[in-house]
Structure 1
């Protein structure tokens, strides 16, 4: 099933589906797809970051990445909210995200050129989960 429809544009179903698409875009270093998905999430009036249900993913590495992504959503959305883009109700991370343990073996996600990110330039939130990946470009508008 394609996530795009010729008649309607991107298919939007639920916040967890969007979270998994963000995960996929992050691991393949598809920045435009990631930012577009973040913007689509932001424009869903009934969705909140704190309301993302716990995916309880059975794969520890994927679960750890899914747990970090809401942090980046709060950063992107709070920036827009502070600029007056919507009423001042700052986003917060879902409670489940703080309960996900770091991965046991360091996980390195290369960029789209196959290069590994330097730990110093990677995302600190990812490093807390024992994941080395370049800081995602999450800001739009």
Structure 2
């Protein structure tokens, strides 16, 4: 690495630390868990790691600008492609979203990402199929890891997608997340972040003789999901699969697709 590159990286890491370190300092208003996670969740050298990761993304200059420029605060939706375009050209999913996978767990990205962006990434991975389907599992885990109220499934805004096939797939993905998350809570006793999901924090609770009240944890689909109608005409084939092998969340909307099982990794 040249001296100029090293100096540039040092300055960029310093900028990220200057801008984001204050948000990771515990405050009197934080819950016990949030305070604990701020103190233990991030490696102190995360700004340096973020700079190195960005250098290995598809669009490093774009990503540096995206994460350092604060307007608008929340990232906009990526360009929207139809379900068939991802099916026929799966490389589109990589071009649009592979950088997001690399940046998922860094504070400057997490704080400005949105639930709808994550949902549309799921749409891309499941429609692209093949080697992309496991990435649906990683994206679902990422969605689950957020603690803000806007990331509760029942608060997910209606995308009002004009593409009936894409809208049906999005609704099926949300319903699958509801099943996946509730199974995690009720059967595996693993709630999401903000309710004791942090392994270190759960160990702390156990040492103190405290437990999470799993009976109170339940995800619900937002109101807009149930009315999303089936796609008109013959079944929409987005995967080589028979109807009986398709999850009911998609089959009832006349969508034949596979890969939603990866969403139960969480």
Taking structure 2 as the reference length, what is the TM-score of the superposition? 0.47
For residues 46-125 of structure 1, the aligned pairs below 5 Å read: 46=148, 47-82=151-186, 83-86=188-191, 87-88=213-214, 89-105=217-233, 106-110=235-239, 116-125=240-249
Number of residues of Structure 1 aligned to a counterpart in Structure 2? 136
* Higher strand content, 1 or 2: 1
Q: Secondary structure at the match of 2:137?
A: helix
Between 1 and 2, higher relative CO (CA 8 Å, sep ≥ 6) is seen in: 1
Q: Please tell me whether the aligned partners of residues 123 and 135 of structure 1 are also in contact (alpha carbons under 8 angstroms).
A: no
Q: What is the aligned counterpart of 2:137 among 13, 18, 35?
A: 35
Dislocated runs of 4+, deviation >2 Å: 4-9
> C-alpha displacement at 1:76, in angstroms?
1.1
* Higher helix content, 1 or 2: 2
Q: Secondary structure at the match of 2:154?
A: coil
Q: Secondary structure at the match of 1:98?
A: coil
Distance 1:135 1:32 in 2: 8
Q: Please tell me whether the aligned partners of residues 57 and 63 of structure 1 are also in contact (alpha carbons under 8 angstroms).
A: yes
Taking structure 1 as the reference length, what is the TM-score of the superposition? 0.86
For the pair shown, which has the larger CA radius of gyration, 1 or 2? Answer: 2
Closer/same/farther in 2, CA of residues 118 and 8 from structure 1, 3 Å limit: same
